[in-house]
Chain A
Amino acid sequence: MAQTERIPSRQTTAGKPTGSGPPGTVTDSRSSERSAGKPPSWWARARRDKILLLMALPGLALLLVFHYLPLLGNLIAFQEYLPFVPLGRSAWVGWDNFAVIFNGDAEFLNALKNTLLITLVQVIFVFPAPIALALLLNSLLSERIKRVVQSVLYLPHFLSWVIVIAIFQQILGGSGLINNFLREHGMGTIDFLGNPDGFIALLTSQVIWKDTGWGTILFLAALTQIDPGLYEAARVDGASRWRQLWHVTVPGIRGLIILLLILRLGDSLTVGFEQIILQQNLVGRPASEVLDTYVYNNGVLAGQWGVSAAVGLVKGLVAVVLVLGANKIAHIFGEAGVYKR
């Protein structure tokens, strides 16, 4: 009987979700006959959609267990956590673990400084790279050359950081391509990989190598959306190519640039964790420690679980605030932002 009472109207009459209508507005011809025009009850709808709910369950459970349950694990930021004491039995220590942040522990401040410095350098050098490359690709007349170049430049994005760094070692390492060349020609070798002063430049060049090509995709898509008539009109008005770039192209992709910049700023405190941890032993911790490696080195390796969790928690909270704040600023400037208000 339950089968025959199945309600086909969920799809036929509800149509696309409006996003604003309350759940009760789902019209439901069969059940409304029974319940005199009232929307189906909570329980009736749950029963009607039980298969859908069951289908959602495995994915939802994985997300809850491995993405939301760890949020509870942040409680150890307020505990004196020892790995062999059961999770609930650790002593509560209030805000003690946050002392490194509030009192400005030197190691923590160094990690924070490096993180912000790397973010700053990457916003200046890494962020514009795909825009420039996309403009260059977009101005190519031959579709075929464009496609070949794209195929080549997208490739590094799919490689792991382990592979990228191994490749960089072959080129820049002590017995790598460039130093071999220098040695053969009687010149001194350059220590690219172990030089603390050059570490940020090294990181930045690796990110540019890996992700610039991939980063062009969204910009290329946005560039094709620009009305060719605008260029036409600009040319008729005698605009030079640079003025066309400034008055037609840039406004055409401004929204996207701001959107991506917001996402990048939201990630200000997250800088290439795998990339850095793989190369840290070559340059030493003072030059390469960032917040994420600080959490890993002090927590998992050195056993200061509570302190690391506290730093991680504050980092996570600040990151959420940054995304929301950046989005707000975008709205103020009249852009769409990451999501609608």
Chain B
Amino acid sequence: MSAVQTGIDDGPGMPSRAVKGVVLLICCAVVIIPFIGVIATSIASQEHVTNSGGFVLWPDGLNLDAYKAIFNGGVVQRALLISVVIATFGTLISLAGSTMLAYSLSRPGSFGQRPILMIVLFSLLFSPGLIPNYLVVKEFGLLDSLLALILPTAISGFNVIVLRSFFMGIPDSVLDSARIDGAGDFRIFWSIVLPLSKAVLAVVGLFYAVGYWNAFFNAMLYINDTAKWPLQLVLRTYVINNTELSSGDLGGASADQLPPQESIQMAILVVSLVPILIVYPFLQRHFAKGMLTGAVKG
């Protein structure tokens, strides 16, 4: 038995440990197996998928026909491009707005700080409601505009608070020395505060990016023009609602060459998963810190 123990575990016998191991193994399997199946179905051969009833857990080889089909210039490729554009510009707008707002709220005793902070905090307490939101977007003429997918959700009060707590932790002496050297507020923000905050900027930026990437309902509400659909809407239409992808939807590939619908569907799913999986290791390493900063100091 170790001298210092952080938990209850008081040297349990083998049975107790085995039970814990099995429970955790099952939890992990329940999460992982569906992903493996999705990837496997997207790259398995046509016969293998058809014979297995449309979903396989392990591929019989590497068959990229489904990916060739969706990257042939059809709806999926266009939706992917739109989602990338929204996530990129949305994150930039969100970060710019949130960091500047958070910085102005982080300087002790600045003018108007209390009311502005109240506005940010109260925004966490309620959501304005679906119909009023829709009316505002409509009155600003943003229906069917990609801006409708960015501006309404651009500032998250929670993220502003996380950033503010971080900025307040930067020692005053660092900022004062810059001020004595004649730097103005924006200069200090840009050349000192932001470079010191790279980690928290990355975390908050990724949170915004994942939010934009995953946003589905606002697109359903505000975007009627199918040519402006982001990936999540395409995913709903062709995967969840099982609408058949015609050869026209896939950039005019001839119908008899098309891989099975199931493979194409899973390929779309993989395409929408990949960006999340790419940033995930980073998210996973840093997010807990960001979460806790917000929770503790907010």
**A241 interface residue, CB < 8 Å from B?**
yes
In the complex, A305 Cα to B116 Cα: how many Å?
Answer: 32
Query: In the complex, how many angstroms separate the beta carbon of B100 from the nearest chain A beta carbon?
Result: 4
Assess whether B109 is in contact with A26, with CB atoms less than 8 Å apart.
yes
Inter-chain contact B280/A60, CB cutoff 8 Å: no
Q: List the one stretch of A9-17, A109-117, A196-204 in contact with chain B.
A: A9-17
Residue of A nearest to B213 (CB): A160
A53, B34: Cα distance in complex, Å: 50
Q: How large, as a class, is the contact surface on chain B?
A: 35 or more
Stretch at the interface among B62-70, B148-156, B243-251: B148-156
Which residues of B, 3-23, contact A by the 8 Å Cβ criterion?
4-10, 12, 20, 23
Give the contacts of A88-137 with B (CB-CB under 8 A).
Answer: 133, 136-137
- Could you say which of B38, B54, B210, B262 contacts A158, with CB atoms under 8 Å apart? B210
| Cβ–Cβ contact B100 & A59, under 8 A | yes
| Shortest Cβ distance from residue A68 to the other chain B in the assembled complex, whole angstroms | 7
Instruction: Name the B residues within 8 Å of A149 (CB-CB).
Output: 24, 27-28
CB distance from B234 to the nearest CB of A (A): 9
| B208 interface contact, C-beta 8 A | no
Most buried by B among A76, A160, A228, A305: A160
Q: Are B12 and A153 in contact (CB under 8 A)?
A: no
Contacts of B236 in A (CB 8 A): 162, 278
Residues of B contacting A319 in the complex (Cβ-Cβ under 8 angstroms): 126
Determine the distance from Cα of A224 to Cα of B7 in the docked complex, in whole angstroms: 8
Inter-chain CA distance A152–B98, complex, in Å, is 30
Q: Is the CB of B4 within 8 A of A228?
A: yes
Is A73 in contact with chain B by the CB < 8 A criterion? yes
Known A152-B32, A241-B12, A320-B126; contact A183-B53, beta-carbon cutoff 8 A: yes
Contact-residue bracket for chain A: 35 or more
- Contact: A11 with B276, CB < 8 Å? no
Q: Is the CB of B37 within 8 A of A177?
A: yes
Within 8 A of B (CB), among A121-172: 133, 136-141, 145, 149-156, 158-163, 165-167, 169-171
CB distance from A168 to the nearest CB of B (A): 8
Main secondary structure of the interface of B (DSSP, over half): helix
A53 and B4 contact, CB distance less than 8 A: no
Check B255 for interface membership: any CB of A closer than 8 A.
no
CB distance from B273 to the nearest CB of A (A): 6
In chain B, what residue has the closest Cβ to A83?
A: B138
Is there an interface contact between B5 and A274, defined as CB atoms closer than 8 Å? no
Measured CA separation A171–B214 after assembly (Å): 21
Q: Is the CB of B273 within 8 A of A159?
A: yes
Is B45's beta carbon under 8 Å from chain A? Answer: no
A76 pairs with B295, CB closer than 8 A: no
- Alpha-carbon distance between A228 and B7 when the two chains are bound, in angstroms: 7
- Which of A51, A76, A228 is B135 in contact with, Cβ under 8 Å? A76
| Residues of A202-229 whose CB lies within 8 A of B | 209, 213, 217-218, 221, 223-224, 226, 228
Q: Does A64 contact B (CB under 8 A)?
A: yes
Residues of B21-46 whose CB lies within 8 A of A: 23-24, 27-28, 30-32, 34-35, 37-38, 41
Give which listed residue, B126, B130, B139, contacts A300 with CB less than 8 A: B130
Query: Is residue B283 within 8 Å, beta carbon to beta carbon, of the partner chain?
Result: yes
How many Å lie between the Cα of A162 and that of B219 in the bound state? 12
**B96 cross-chain contacts in A, Cβ below 8 A:** 58
Contacting residues, chain A, for B262 (C-beta < 8 A): 175
> Is B146 in contact with chain A by the CB < 8 A criterion?
no
State whether B101 touches A55 (Cβ < 8 A): yes
Chain B nearest CB: distance from A209 CB in Å? Answer: 7
Q: A15-B172, A73-B132, A76-B131 are in contact. Are A52 and B276 (CB under 8 A)?
A: no
A residues in contact with B87, CB < 8 Å? none
Q: Does B134 contact A (CB under 8 A)?
A: yes
Q: A166 and B235: CB pair below 8 A?
A: yes
A51 touches B7 (CB 8 A): no
For A235, list chain B residues within 8 Å (CB): 10
Complex interface: chain B residues within 8 A of A6 (CB) = 184
Contacting pair A167 B9 (CB below 8 A): no
Q: Which of A17, A55, A69, A224 has the most CB of B within 10 A?
A: A55
Contact with A along B164-198 (1 / 0, CB 8 A): 00001000100110011000111001000000000
| B107 in complex: contacting residue of A11, A156, A299, CB < 8 Å | A11
User: Is A59 touching B155 in the complex (CB atoms < 8 A)?
Assistant: yes
Kindly identify which residue among B53, B186, B217 contacts A51, using a CB–CB cutoff of 8 Å: B186
Q: Which residues of B contact A62 (CB under 8 A)?
A: 97, 151, 154-155
Set A160, A281, A312: member contacting B216, Cβ < 8 A? A160
Tell me whether B112 is interfacial, beta carbon within 8 Å: yes
Residues in B whose Cβ lies below 8 Å from that of A221: 288, 292
Q: Is A329 an interface residue (CB 8 A)?
A: no
Contacts of A156 in B (CB 8 A): 31
In the bound complex, residues from chain A placing their C-beta under 8 Å from that of B131 are 73, 76, 295, 299-300, 305, 308-309, 312
User: Closest 10 interchain pairs by CB?
Assistant: A73-B132, A59-B101, A160-B214, A70-B128, A70-B132, A59-B97, A56-B104, A312-B129, A14-B109, A55-B100
21 A-B Cβ contacts within 8 A?
A10-B107, A10-B109, A12-B176, A14-B109, A49-B107, A52-B104, A58-B97, A76-B131, A76-B132, A151-B284, A159-B276, A160-B216, A162-B236, A163-B273, A166-B240, A180-B52, A209-B31, A223-B7, A224-B6, A300-B134, A309-B129
**Contacts A26-B109, A138-B6 known; 20 new A-B pairs at CB < 8 A:** A11-B172, A15-B108, A23-B111, A48-B111, A52-B110, A56-B105, A56-B112, A59-B100, A60-B116, A71-B132, A155-B280, A161-B216, A163-B214, A163-B272, A218-B295, A231-B5, A277-B220, A278-B216, A296-B130, A299-B134
